[in-house]
């Protein structure tokens, strides 16, 4: 049985806070990615397309997205492709006040509650070629483990399970709410050949035999969701490891360029050259041909341009220039811990306010001293070891920043 595994499509994400041009393009990009998925499913002869939750971002569904979605699903069902959609926490099935009803085409199975539903998948001649068992979220805050209720399949045909879940310990799980948490061991021991998962947006394989995979979201939506995004085309066989192929589907890619301590760059031209060089070397290893780029340029630490780069207007201007140079749809320039290029070591051990401040900062960062009440002041993780990690992170490069601030106060 051949399936296309999609997840976390998030139609009609608002992309608030961006210009209407960018917002319009990003919303369209999600629809384009879905259409690309349907193209590939038809091209490659998929028997079923599975959507592992969060098809919609929220309660509101635009007329444009509804028309588009139903049109794409009809392209699949018209060719006999089974579509199974299991709801997630963004698009729960039976919660009151959710979006208006959608007239799903025949051949689309919507599973909107936690009771596992078994759906047959048919081949070209109408014969059953495999089974999909799916469970959905009925509410926006499903805290139960939905995987434990999946029945053990015992037939001779390929068996796929479809679920929106946070698998405990999966990569990047911590950036998602722990809804419908499941243990990997439960999934592995359940008797299925392939688990098509949604919820965690980072694509990853949790197990090869049986296959347990997150497809990741179909189109990146934030600067954190970098790299190629798309779906998984999976050849499922009973009792064997499935063959899994990643298909890039997203037209827009988010990427990041980090410039650490550009102390030798004293002009805007120099900065643009440096960002351009860094961008070209990143793209040499990962060209992303045809992608439209959303780029975040992060400038960090010591730079003679620290005053200019601390100013939002200057950063906006630099971003606009970089859009042309990097051939990107948008470049956002961000500054982190900027300070003048100064030699911290020259000032260390001085018998004055500056020397004492540097000394304190170093000891604080390395956990040699504790400031009473600091844990309460900081909005950080609760336990002491995490606090130390947190302090370490926020104080990284802190000496240079303190030094340059104290010096400019003195001057």
Residues 2-21 that bind Mn ion (CB under 5 A): 8
Least CB distance from residue 89 to Mn ion, whole Å?
Answer: 7
**Closest distance of CB 30 from Mn ion, Å:** 12
Minimal distance, residue 231 CB to Mn ion, in Å: 14
Q: Quick check: 113 binds Mn ion (CB under 5 A)?
A: no
State the nearest-atom distance from the C-beta of 407 to Mn ion, in Å.
47
- Shortest spacing between CB 172 and Mn ion, in angstroms: 12
Site string for Mn ion, 179-218 (x = CB under 5 A): ----------------------------------------
User: Measured from the CB atom, is 12 or 54 closer to Mn ion?
Assistant: 54
Q: Which is nearer to Mn ion, 54 or 255 (CB)?
A: 54
d(CA 344, CA 393): 18
> Is 182 or 403 the residue whose CB approaches Mn ion more closely?
182
Question: What's the min distance (Å) between Cβ of 224 and Mn ion?
Answer: 13
**Non-local CB neighbours of 150 within 8 Å, separated by 6+ positions:** 116, 133, 135, 161, 163, 190, 192
* Residues found in the chain: 411
Total number of residues that touch Mn ion (CB under 5 A): 2
CB of 32 to Mn ion, least distance (A): 18
In the complex with Mn ion, the residue whose CB is nearer, 8 or 12, is 8
Residue nearer to Mn ion on the CB measure, 13 or 72: 13
Binding mask 366-395 for Mn ion (x = CB under 5 A): ------------------------------
Query: Are residues 195 and 212 in contact, defined by beta-carbon separation less than 8 angstroms?
Result: yes
Report, in Å, the least distance between residue 294 CB and Mn ion.
18
Q: Quote the least distance from Cβ 10 to Mn ion, whole Å.
A: 6
**Residue 411 and residue 394: Cα distance in Å, rounded?**
26
- Tell me the per-residue interface mask from 281 to 320 with Mn ion, x by CB under 5 A, - otherwise: ----------------------------------------
Of 344-363, binders to Mn ion (CB under 5 A) are: none
Closest CA to 179 of 50, 49, 52, 34: 52
Q: Which is nearer to Mn ion, 59 or 396 (CB)?
A: 59
> Which residue's CB is nearer to Mn ion, number 60 or number 363?
60
> What is the spatial distance between Cα 203 and Cα 112, in angstroms, rounded to a whole number?
23
Residue among 213 and 339 whose Cβ is closer to Mn ion = 213
Q: Which of residues 48-67 bind Mn ion (CB under 5 A)?
A: 54
Looking at the Cβ atoms of 8 and 32, the one nearer to Mn ion is 8
- Which residues contribute to the site for Mn ion (CB under 5 A)? 8, 54
């Amino acid at each position: 049985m051949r399936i296309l595994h999609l997840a976390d499509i998030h139609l009609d994400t608002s992309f608030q806070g961006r210009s209407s041009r960018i917002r319009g393009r990003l919303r369209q990009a999600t629809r384009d990615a879905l259409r690309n998925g349907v193209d590939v499913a038809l091209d490659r002869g998929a028997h079923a397309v599975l959507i592992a939750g969060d098809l919609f971002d929220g309660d509101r569904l635009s007329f444009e997205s509804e028309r588009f979605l139903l049109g794409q699903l009809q392209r699949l069902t018209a060719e006999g492709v089974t579509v199974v959609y299991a709801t997630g926490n963004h698009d729960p099935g039976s919660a009151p006040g959710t979006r208006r009803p959608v007239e799903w085409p025949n051949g689309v199975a919507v599973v909107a509650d936690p009771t596992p539903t078994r759906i047959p998948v048919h081949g070209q001649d109408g014969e059953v070629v495999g089974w999909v068992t799916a469970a959905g979220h009925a509410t926006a805050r499903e805290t139960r483990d939905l995987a434990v209720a999946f029945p053990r399949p015992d037939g001779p045909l390929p068996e796929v399970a479809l679920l929106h879940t946070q698998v405990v310990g999966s990569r990047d799980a911590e950036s998602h709410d722990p809804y419908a948490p499941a243990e990997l061991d439960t999934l592995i021991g359940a008797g299925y050949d392939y688990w098509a998962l949604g919820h965690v947006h980072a694509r990853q394989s949790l197990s090869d035999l049986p296959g347990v995979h997150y497809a990741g979201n179909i189109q990146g939506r934030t600067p954190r969701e970098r790299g190629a995004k798309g779906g998984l085309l999976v050849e499922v066989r009973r009792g064997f490891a499935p063959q899994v192929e990643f298909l890039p589907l997203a037209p827009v890619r988010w990427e990041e360029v980090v410039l650490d301590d550009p102390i030798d760059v004293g002009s805007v031209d120099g900065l643009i050259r440096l960002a351009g060089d860094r961008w070209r070397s990143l793209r040499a290893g990962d060209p992303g041909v045809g992608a439209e780029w959303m780029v975040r340029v992060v400038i960090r630490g010591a730079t003679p341009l620290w005053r200019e780069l601390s100013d939002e207007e200057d950063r906006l201007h630099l971003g606009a220039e970089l859009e042309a140079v990097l051939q990107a749809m948008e470049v956002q320039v961000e500054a982190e811990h900027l300070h003048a290029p100064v030699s911290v070591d020259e000032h260390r051990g001085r018998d004055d306010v500056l020397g004492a401040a540097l000394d304190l900062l170093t000891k604080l960062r390395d956990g040699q001293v504790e400031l009473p009440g600091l844990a309460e002041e900081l909005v950080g993780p609760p336990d002491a070891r995490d606090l130390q990690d947190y302090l370490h992170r926020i104080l990284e490069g802190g000496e240079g920043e303190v030094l340059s601030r104290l010096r400019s106060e003195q001057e």
